[in-house]
Amino acid sequence: MASPVKSLCIVVPKAEGESVRKKLLDMDNLRKDLIVDRDESNVFFPIFKKMDLGYDVKEMDFKEAGVVVRSYIDVIDIPEELRPLLPTSFDIVGEIAVIRIPDDLKDHSSAIGNAILEANKPIRTVVSDEGVMGEHRLRKIEVIAGENNTTTVHKEYGLSFSVDLSKAYFSPRLATERRRVAQKVQEGENIIDMFCGVGPFSIMIAKNVSPVSIFGIDSNPYAIKSFMDNIRLNHVENVVPIQGDVRDMLGSLEPADRIIMDLPHRSFEFFEGALGALKEKGIVHYYEILTEVAARDRENELSATARNLGRDMEIEEQRVVRRYSPTQCHFAFDIKVS
């Protein structure tokens, strides 16, 4: 079972739950990545940021909203004593189900894959996920059932992203985060998406705001090729994919109003370079996987790096994008630099 995620929430008496839910949706302040909680009298809606609707706001633990797959568990044929080990959720990327299989169930991978296919008609391929690794953050996957094809088109907020999961990084779990960032962008901004992958941040922004100019950099040639396909698929303009190492590329770009740094295992080593590529005033969307204690230290280290370069910075917003492991979270820092 995934560990709970801490989030701000608004506490609403049950009778008023539905009208408040609609208000939160209208205001884009309802976290859809977490499951709404209830007790006998109240509904607890997880929210992105504090707001005053006349109800209490507090912090509490929520379960992550994965895809509940009880139905595959209903149809699978495995020894009874192994059932409690079956994963209760998996990710869906386009028509591919991506599932982490515990070691004790590895011998039953194809039974799990076939049960998922049987219970989820739109899925045509099931892959086991052994984690993300290497410079290109490639997911180590193995087809365990269905078509031997790891290329698919994933739909997210009306956009289409083509990806070969064996050749480029993509995670559907960042959808809410990509949308949140896109909604902050102002017309006319110049943006650098430093680790763009197949382009979902860049494309979501270009679709949301116009005019805007976006340069997306990635060292993985397959990611850049898919990014180009995705620009065509979504009919966006003013998005320029660049293949190469950001350390070699940043110097040739115009200074940016906003920089996205989505390389959450190594962002800190690139932060100084990002500051150098930013206009006198700008925003950095900085992502890193950290424990809560390390996240507090990181704030000081980011400020010290900025100070050494003669810049001021403040963290406008810090939030947990998702729980990464029992002790670590994927953090987002919105950093205002001047």
Tell me the residue type at 49.
K
| In the complex, least distance from residue 105 CB atom to ligand SAM, rounded to whole angstroms | 27
Bridge partner list, 59:
8
- What is the C-alpha separation between 156 and 161, in angstroms, rounded? 8
CB of 310 to ligand SAM, least distance (A): 25
User: Is the distance from CB of 289 to CB of 261 less than 8 angstroms?
Assistant: no
Stretches 43-51, 149-157, 213-221, 313-321: which one binds ligand SAM (CB under 6 A)?
213-221
Q: Output 99 or 205, the one with its CB closest to ligand SAM.
A: 205
Q: For ligand SAM, which is the closer residue by CB, 136 or 336?
A: 136
Q: What is the residue whose two structure tokens read 């690139």?
A: 270
User: Where in 82-101 is the site for ligand SAM (CB under 6 A)?
Assistant: none
Which one of 75-83, 134-142, 250-258, 294-302 is the stretch in contact with ligand SAM (CB under 6 A)?
134-142
Burial label, 311 (beta-carbon count in 10 A; 0-12, 13-18, 19+): middle
Using the rule CB under 6 A, which residue among 45, 62, 201, 333 binds ligand SAM? Answer: 201
Candidates 38-46, 100-108, 135-143, 277-285: pick the segment binding ligand SAM (CB under 6 A): 135-143
If the CB atoms of residues 69 and 127 are measured against ligand SAM, the closer one turns out to be 127
Which strand ranges, in their side-by-side order, compose the sheet holding 37-38? 37-38, 42-47, 5-13, 56-62
86 or 138: CB nearest ligand SAM: 138
Letters for 170-199 (x = contact with ligand SAM by CB under 6 A, - = none) are x---x--------------------xxx--
Burial class from Cβ neighbours inside 10 Å (0-12, 13-18, 19+) for residue 134 reads: exposed
Does position 263 bind ligand SAM by CB under 6 A?
Answer: yes
> Is it true that the peptide bond before 211 is cis, omega within 30 degrees of 0?
yes
**66 in helix, strand or coil?**
coil
Q: Is 135 in the site for ligand SAM (CB under 6 A)?
A: yes
SS3 282: strand
Residues 42 to 71 in contact with ligand SAM, rule: CB under 6 A = none
Asked if 169 is part of the footprint of ligand SAM (rule: CB under 6 A), the reply reads yes
Q: Report how many residues bind ligand SAM under the rule CB under 6 A.
A: 20
Listing DSSP states for 11-27 in one string gives EEEGGGHHHHHHHHHHT
Residue 137 binding ligand SAM, by CB under 6 A:
yes
Residue 246 as a binder of ligand SAM (CB under 6 A): the answer is yes
Q: Distances from the Cα of 199 to the Cαs of 34, 42, 121, 138, 239, in angstroms?
A: 25, 40, 28, 15, 9
User: Contact positions toward ligand SAM, by CB under 6 A?
Assistant: 135-137, 169-170, 174, 195-197, 200-201, 217-220, 223, 245-246, 262-263
